[in-house]
């Protein structure tokens, strides 16, 4: 028996790849579900530092900031990949947290851009990683987030 350690989700965005990439990365704060945050209080901002090695971060209404990802690949307008550091406890990750990988590719189509997201290496989170897979793969995870994203794009 094999256990799937990845989640795949795709959507068509009615935008050119350049715009689709920008909305996914620079526009993350506009389409991210405001209920999805790690810090106490309200989510004030969420963002991506636009370069390899950059942070994926959130800031709450008290001004606290936490890093929940690291940019692995920054190749506009084709590929954006990052390390997902949020583990099975869904808490602020430790500075040395091991992460899974999220790779997003943007391919031109007749109607805009096909956006393919693969969240793999989920077993890197250790015991309980299946909960991360089920969370990011469920309706409240990447499929729902990609619909919000496509509406914004």
Q: Residue 6: how many CA atoms within 13 Å on its side-chain side?
A: 10
The predicted pLDDT at position 1 comes to 44
Q: Which two tokens stand for residue 142?
A: 């990447």
Sheet of 79-84: strand order equals 7-13, 112-120, 100-109, 79-84, 65-75, 55-60, 43-48
pLDDT digits (tens, 9 = 90+) for 49-66: 999 999 999 999 999 999
Q: Alpha-carbon distance 28 to 65, whole Å?
A: 16
Find the mean pLDDT for residues 133-138.
96
For the stretch 64-103, pLDDT in tens is 999 999 999 999 999 999 999 999 999 999 989 999 999 9
Q: How far apart are CA 136 and CA 102, in angstroms?
A: 11
Looking at domain 7-152, does it have CATH number 2.40.30.10? no
- At 27, the pLDDT band (50, 70, 90 cuts) reads very high
pTM (2 decimals)?
Answer: 0.96
């Amino acid at each position: 028996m094999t256990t799937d350690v990845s989640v795949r989700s795709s959507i068509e965005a009615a935008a050119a790849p350049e715009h689709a990439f920008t909305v996914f990365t620079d526009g993350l704060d506009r389409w991210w579900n405001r209920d999805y945050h790690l810090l106490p209080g309200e989510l004030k901002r969420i963002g991506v530092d636009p370069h390899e090695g950059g942070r994926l971060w959130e800031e709450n209404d008290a001004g606290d900031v936490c890093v929940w990802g690291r940019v692995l690949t920054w190749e506009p307008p084709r590929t954006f990949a990052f390390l997902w550091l949020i583990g099975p406890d869904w808490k602020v990750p430790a500075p040395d947290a091991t992460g899974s990988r999220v790779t997003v590719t943007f391919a031109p189509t007749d109607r805009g851009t096909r956006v393919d997201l693969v969240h793999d290496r989920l077993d890197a989170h250790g015991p309980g990683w299946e909960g991360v897979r089920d969370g990011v793969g469920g309706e409240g995870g990447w499929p729902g987030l990609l619909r919000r994203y496509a509406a914004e794009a």
